[in-house]
Chains A and B, each alone.
With several copies, the nearest count.
Chain A
Amino acid sequence: MADTKYETPMLDELESGPWPSFIKELKKVAPRKPMVQDLLGQLEQSYEEGQGHWKHGGIVGVMGYGGGVIGRYSDLADKFTNCAHFHTIRVNQPAGWFYTSKALRTICDIWERHGSGLTNMHGSTGDIVLLGTTTSELEPTFAELTANGFDLGGSGSDMRTPSCCVGKARCEWACYDTMALTYDLTQSFQDALHRPAFPYKFKIKSAGCPNDCVASIARADLSIIGTWRDDIRVDQEGVKAYEKAGLNIERDVCGRCPARCMEYSGKLMIDNRACVHCMHCINAMPKALRPGVDTGATILIGSKAPIVQGALLSSVLVPFMKIEPPYQELKDLIEKMWEWRDENGKSRERIGELIQRMGMRNFLPAVGLEPNPDMVFHPRANPYVFYDEYFVAEEEGEAQA
């Protein structure tokens, strides 16, 4: 404790136990980082009182960018002067969160020079989060980051840093190249990312298959989920091997298939037209089953956390789209939806909420898509159908004229 300025008996209790301790992390840098010493002090006070001690927001940033920095000020600035400013910088991660040791060290060195030495690897949206610095260090940090090939992520009403699952880099189930797409979209939409001009944030997440290892269907305004439309590839010998190894294929694979489209009796039969592409059978027998080869993605729209009108999951917009460079169809779609939202969206209204408010009826034509039964769980149950026009009897026409 000698290295820290304040007694932190409550926090110290969080150093023990088998899970790695964030307090230990703080204490690793605290000796050389007065900002972190004060952070420990303030945090201890929060623990004692049961409440946080950060002031509301505060707009700070780097020149020419509208996002990427979250301003943060202590409301106990008099007491904890060294963490009076404690801004975070969001830095775009490499797609798939792959790093060389060199790249990591570069970031560490920059942050050693300009910040608290604390990070989140990674933020919930996917950015590298550099946690805690002062306003005056923002621009120098930015300069060093860009000089080393890194750029800022998003914040505010902009496109947020797209993120993706490991995809084709290390997963046999990736139905399209999530990392290539994510990189391309991030580069193509640099302006939308750095200069908030939307009514509200817009997140894109890309998962290579319906397992959705990046939670795109729950956490992205645009969710791109890989899938296939031909047959599941089956290695019957492989299936038997799983049976031999003790898997109850009938009960635990066929019996849990949501489409109930599989049968097993020594041979696995799949009715691929009925399959809903849930991945379960493939997950259960990865050595024997694989997605088909006519692959692409389902495009879904609108998920978000509950504020304000309730949480949403993304819903199907395009049941199947080929995802291949230069991704023109997808990019056109994205731009059309942004345009539509710019015209119609209210401030702090996510695109999912806007669609809820204005209806697919308005949204679909704007993005040039035809209605499709896959877009809904089921057709409407209420009889309140709008028609754009009605017939007028001839007499009436005359009468009116």
Chain B
Amino acid sequence: MTTQPAKRITDIGPPHYDQMLHPVIKENYGKWKYHETLKPGVLCHVSETGQKIYSVRAGSPRLLSIDTIRWYADLADKYCKGYLRFTSRNNVEFLLDDPKLIDPLIAELNQNGFPVGGTNNAISNIVHTQGWVHCHSSATDASGIVKSVMDELHPYFISEKLPAKCRVALACCLNMCGAVHCSDIAILGIHRRPPKPKHDILGKTCEIPTVVASCPTGAIRPATVDGKQSVEIVEAQCMYCANCYTVCPSLPMNDPLNDGISIWVGGKVSNARSAPAFSKLAIPFIPNNPPRWPEVVEAVKNIVEVWAKHARKFERIGEWIDRIGWKRFFELTGIEFTKHHIDDFKHAGLTYHTSAHLRF
């Protein structure tokens, strides 16, 4: 670290949002009355005062260069009096008070390869994580898969023709920084091989009791290997969660032959209609196939399309499956149901089907 500057400023927190608000927003803060969608990606919020703010939402790779951010700033200056925002799904939203500028803005965005959409019953941006670009934990990449999948789902980003919202998310390991556990479709990187202890250095780099305690299934035991203090992994008890690796670098999990992707479906976050729900396992494993992961793209697309075809209005994927049952879901998507789909973790027994409500 460099030496402390003379007058060190700390603990100031973020800038106050007030400085960042478009005048129309500032004036109508808390006074919004209703909104309408002018076209996919373009919202118009109308205030009690009659004033309106127009939002144009553009898709983003999230991993942005400062060049692109500067270009966003230029666009904001040109169309939005200098005001813009980002969304909770990492899209960028340009805030306009002049509806005439909407189409020119969209044209400029499109020209530069930034699609406008993601509103209402669209597939918005994929919430995702670091992958091979920045994380030590990843069982797969993040940005590359997102790019490949969104290239394919792009028609659903720029239109609003789906039965309901469909939220896709990706996390490159079980830590799930993409919080994929509650998504309509989740793409999750998984390991399938127990950690390979580096016996020579483990004792020096890690606290063995901490390592042992870190394993949720108790698969780790202290052991002396070649005269060195280390741990042994009871491989049959390991389900590759990598929690041990998080606490101990000498237990690497990466393994190209066994790492890959799993697909999960039917989760949601909103309380609209049905309660928030976890995503459930659809496809246990697809090998990593960079740079475009065609099998993953195909799997996601298939699920989206089968759902789009069969769901009723307002039915998100999980709500649709609730109605038709998992049996039909597997039939209609052609996905195989395997032993891996049956839970065997802590509360597994509660997922067993305790009724005679069956479809034939």
Q: Which residue on chain A has the smallest CB distance to residue B157?
A: A19
**Which of chain B's residues 294-314 have a Cβ closer than 8 Å to chain A?**
313-314
Q: Is A49 an interface residue (CB 8 A)?
A: yes
Contacts of B21 in A (CB 8 A): 98, 169
Contact status A119-B66, CB under 8 Å: yes
B78 → chain A, closest Cβ, in Å? 9
Contact status A279-B272, CB under 8 Å: yes
C-alpha gap A21/B314 in the complex (Å): 31
Q: Which residue on chain B has the smallest CB distance to residue A378?
A: B280
Contacts of A157 in B (CB 8 A): none
Contact status A275-B34, CB under 8 Å: no
Q: Is A392 an interface residue (CB 8 A)?
A: yes
B21 → chain A, closest Cβ, in Å? 6
Contacts of B346 in A (CB 8 A): 309-310, 382
Contact status A104-B70, CB under 8 Å: yes
Please classify how large the interface on chain A is, using the bins under 10, 10 to 19, 20 to 34, 35 or more: 35 or more
Q: Is A355 an interface residue (CB 8 A)?
A: yes
Residue in B4, B59, B358 whose Cβ sees the most chain A Cβ within 10 Å? B358
Contacts of A359 in B (CB 8 A): 342, 344, 348
Contacts of B197 in A (CB 8 A): none
A78-118 Cβ-contact flags toward B at 8 Å (1 or 0):
00000000101000111111111111110110011000011
Asked, given contacts A52-B136, A121-B90, A390-B192, whether A284 binds B63 with beta carbons under 8 Å apart, the answer is: no
Residue in B82, B182, B281, B354 whose Cβ sees the most chain A Cβ within 10 Å? B354
Q: Is B40 an interface residue (CB 8 A)?
A: no
Partner pick for B32 among A104, A170, A314, CB 8 A cutoff: A170
Contact status A53-B132, CB under 8 Å: yes
Partner pick for A376 among B181, B256, B341, CB 8 A cutoff: B341
Q: Is A267 an interface residue (CB 8 A)?
A: no
Contacts of B134 in A (CB 8 A): 54, 70, 72, 86, 88, 131-132
Q: Is A135 an interface residue (CB 8 A)?
A: yes
Q: Is A252 an interface residue (CB 8 A)?
A: yes
**Which of chain A's residues 278-305 have a Cβ closer than 8 Å to chain B?**
278-280, 283-284, 286-287, 290, 298, 300, 302-303, 305
Asked, given contacts A22-B61, A286-B36, whether A256 binds B273 with beta carbons under 8 Å apart, the answer is: yes
Q: Is A26 an interface residue (CB 8 A)?
A: yes
Q: Which residue on chain A has the smallest CB distance to residue B71?
A: A28
Contacts of B259 in A (CB 8 A): 50-51
Contact status B20-A103, CB under 8 Å: yes
Contact status B66-A14, CB under 8 Å: no
Partner pick for B353 among A151, A376, A391, CB 8 A cutoff: A376
B135-152 Cβ-contact flags toward A at 8 Å (1 or 0):
111100101101110110
Contact status A386-B239, CB under 8 Å: yes
Partner pick for A361 among B13, B267, B272, B342, CB 8 A cutoff: B342
Partner pick for B87 among A70, A97, A380, CB 8 A cutoff: A97
Contact status B85-A276, CB under 8 Å: no
- How many A-B contacts at CB < 8 Å in the complex? 561
C-alpha gap A256/B64 in the complex (Å): 40
C-alpha gap A97/B125 in the complex (Å): 16
Q: Is A326 an interface residue (CB 8 A)?
A: no
C-alpha gap A398/B302 in the complex (Å): 41
Contact status A320-B360, CB under 8 Å: yes
Q: Is A364 an interface residue (CB 8 A)?
A: yes
Q: State the majority secondary structure of interface residues on B.
A: loop
Q: Is A4 an interface residue (CB 8 A)?
A: no
Contact status A94-B17, CB under 8 Å: yes
Contact status B177-A124, CB under 8 Å: yes
Contact status B65-A26, CB under 8 Å: yes
**Which of chain B's residues 18-45 have a Cβ closer than 8 Å to chain A?**
19-21, 25, 29-30, 32-36, 45
**Which of chain A's residues 27-73 have a Cβ closer than 8 Å to chain B?**
28-29, 39, 43, 46-57, 60-65, 70, 72
C-alpha gap A43/B249 in the complex (Å): 21
Q: Which residue on chain B has the smallest CB distance to residue A278?
A: B271
B16 → chain A, closest Cβ, in Å? 6
Contacts of A257 in B (CB 8 A): 273
Contacts of A211 in B (CB 8 A): 270-272
Asked, given contacts A150-B14, A258-B357, A305-B181, whether A287 binds B34 with beta carbons under 8 Å apart, the answer is: yes
Q: Is A265 an interface residue (CB 8 A)?
A: no
Contacts of A343 in B (CB 8 A): none
A194-209 Cβ-contact flags toward B at 8 Å (1 or 0):
1000000000000000
Contact status A308-B243, CB under 8 Å: yes
Partner pick for B19 among A103, A163, A210, A393, CB 8 A cutoff: A103
Q: Is A322 an interface residue (CB 8 A)?
A: no
Contact status B147-A172, CB under 8 Å: no
Contact status B19-A100, CB under 8 Å: yes
**Which of chain A's residues 339-367 have a Cβ closer than 8 Å to chain B?**
348, 355-356, 359-361, 364
**Which of chain B's residues 179-232 have a Cβ closer than 8 Å to chain A?**
179, 181-182, 188, 190, 192-194, 214, 216-217
Q: Is A239 an interface residue (CB 8 A)?
A: no
A338 → chain B, closest Cβ, in Å? 18
B333-346 Cβ-contact flags toward A at 8 Å (1 or 0):
00001111111111
B226-251 Cβ-contact flags toward A at 8 Å (1 or 0):
00000000001011111101110100
Contact status B92-A121, CB under 8 Å: yes
Contact status B276-A212, CB under 8 Å: yes
Contacts of A381 in B (CB 8 A): 181, 278-281, 343, 351
Contact status A25-B147, CB under 8 Å: no
Contact status A360-B344, CB under 8 Å: yes
Q: Which residue on chain B has the smallest CB distance to residue A54?
A: B136
Q: Which residue on chain B has the smallest CB distance to residue A17?
A: B151
Q: Is B290 an interface residue (CB 8 A)?
A: yes
Q: Is A222 an interface residue (CB 8 A)?
A: no
B121 → chain A, closest Cβ, in Å? 11
Contact status A312-B115, CB under 8 Å: no
Residue in B35, B132, B137 whose Cβ sees the most chain A Cβ within 10 Å? B132
C-alpha gap A217/B278 in the complex (Å): 11
Partner pick for B290 among A10, A19, A361, CB 8 A cutoff: A10
Q: Is A262 an interface residue (CB 8 A)?
A: no
Q: Which residue on chain A has the smallest CB distance to residue B78?
A: A101
C-alpha gap A103/B76 in the complex (Å): 12
C-alpha gap A183/B21 in the complex (Å): 14
Q: Which residue on chain B has the smallest CB distance to residue A167?
A: B30
Contact status B326-A19, CB under 8 Å: no
Contacts of A94 in B (CB 8 A): 14-17, 19-20
Provide 24 A-B residue pairs closer than 8 Å at the C-beta atoms, listed in order of the A residue. Answer: A19-B150, A21-B113, A63-B4, A100-B82, A101-B72, A101-B74, A107-B66, A117-B65, A124-B129, A146-B8, A168-B30, A256-B314, A258-B275, A303-B354, A306-B181, A356-B348, A361-B344, A371-B339, A373-B326, A374-B327, A378-B326, A379-B281, A383-B174, A391-B257
Q: Which 6 A-B residue pairs are closest in the complex by CB-CB distance?
A: A56-B249, A17-B151, A315-B352, A50-B256, A101-B73, A313-B354
New A-B contacts (5) at CB < 8 Å, excluding given A22-B63, A108-B70, A313-B182: A98-B20, A103-B20, A218-B276, A378-B326, A384-B345
